Amino acid sequence: MKNNKKLSTLAYVPLDLPKIKVPYSDLIKLFNSQGQAHYPYPSLWHSITVTGNIKNFQDPIECDTAWKNRYSITTKSIKLNPFIPYNILKILLKQISALPYKVCMFSQILSQQTEIPPHKDGPYKNKNCLKMALKENPIDFSEQPEPAGLKILLSHTSVSSLYVCKTVKSRRQFIRLPKNTTSFALNERTFFHGAKAPKKSKFILSTFGIIDKNRHKNLMKKSLRRYGDKAIWF
């Protein structure tokens, strides 16, 4: 196992958190009734926002605006989607609370529609965001620890679909999830990642927020100790 000084080179690691399970049929039913074409990428994703600074959770443009502004809001403005059944929302919120955030600013369930080409995620919005996120809690996002992409796979846990790679043309290394967890971390801003097209609807909970450095460091240590054989380094 590599030491903590090399966490910036850690592309993927399963997280040592309890496995959660939302019945697949419930997710299908939820997306049939509440799913939205994910503005502005309707051909790639459908989505349902779980938490965010949103008044109308059924407005895809407002949900996208909330996603874009997810690092520049106050904690008091974060709301829960009232259209998600409580039995599902309870499971998701409990797992989000176990992630190493000071506060989770935005979360959404994504349903992948087609192949996702290798790409890197953009920077933390803009220069203003680097100086201040929460008005009541200024933070320098250049100090956010990696891997910072904290996600929970809600289906396809045993299928080779999501991969990471050092360059667009380098070998694709598919992530492997242990049987005991559905949560993982990606370094989305440093390394390329993508996913093969699913044969049936695939669901993933994607979260964003201000990371607690100590909680993150401790969780990375635990996760690498337990699942280091499945971690991917570059």
The tokens for 73 are 């809001």
Residue 165's pLDDT is 97
Q: What are phi and psi of 151, to 5 degrees?
A: -140, 160
Q: Are 50 and 62 in contact (CB under 8 A)?
A: no
Q: Are 195 and 115 in contact (CB under 8 A)?
A: yes
Closest CA to 53 of 119, 116, 9, 108: 108
- Over the chain (234 residues), the average pLDDT of each successive run of 10 is 70 97 96 90 92 93 87 78 97 97 93 94 58 52 86 91 94 95 96 94 94 95 97 96
101 beta partners: 211
pTM of this structure: 0.90
Residue 74's pLDDT is 65
The tokens for 211 are 């990371």
The tokens for 123 are 């920077």
Residue 124's pLDDT is 65
